[in-house]
Amino acid sequence: MNIFRLAGDMTHLASVLVLLLKIHTIKSCAGVSLKTQELYAIVFTTRYLDIFTDFISLYNTVMKLIFLGSSYSIVWYIRRHKIVRRSYDKNQDTFRHLFLILPCFVLALLINEKLTFKEVMWTFSLYLEAVAILPQLVLLQRTKNIDNLTGQYVFLLGAYRALYIVNWIYRYFTEPHFVHWITWISGLVQTLLYADFFYYYFQSWKNNQKLQLPA
């Protein structure tokens, strides 16, 4: 653990809390992509298969439980909550997210560090997480009115991944034999997908204007 990884974890946690705050208090999921949330639920499920078999630390276990629980809670809210689900814009959230799952799984079978069930699932979760934000970004492009909480949620998600890249750079220079190409490349691809959003987010903040992405 180092300061960059801790900052990344806390930023990731903050993004989830911001989204849950919006959904639970405002009772609205407007501007939130159910497709992205379903992909994240799959990501955390396949990544944390070791939660009941391999104990690393209390911190590690608690964080895994938080991300698993929150991801399924968000999906439940959008799909089942009698008030929240009314604000879900199904007509705009049309990205065919299921077509991301099979290519990521096939890639995990072909390119992994070890051909075991857990390792393939873990690798699959990395590939899928790299592209899971795509439905959300597409939805934001179609949405003319992006509220502050949704914008902050996406910004914090992108910041979490950027901080993890700094963490990897730090560990590369401070830990011997720290080389994880699959993790690095997946994380870099994921961060690059946020580049356009970051630009318009900072522009809106700088000019004190409403966040809006080009169509």
Q: Tell me the domain boundaries of the chain.
A: 3-206
Range with the poorest average pLDDT among 7-16, 95-104, 119-128, 206-215: 206-215
The predicted-structure confidence for 152-195, as pLDDT tens digits, reads as follows: 999 999 999 999 999 999 999 999 889 999 999 999 999 999 99
Task: Say whether pLDDT at 140 is over 80.
Answer: yes
pLDDT at 209 > cutoff 90: no
Helix runs in the chain, H state only: 3-21, 34-47, 58-80, 98-110, 117-131, 134-142, 148-174, 181-193, 195-207
pLDDT above 80 (res 144): no
Q: What are the pLDDT digits (tens) for 10-52?
A: 999 999 999 999 999 999 999 999 999 999 999 999 999 999 8
**What's the pTM value of the predicted model, to 2 decimals?**
0.93
Phi, psi of 200 (to 5 degrees): -75, -30
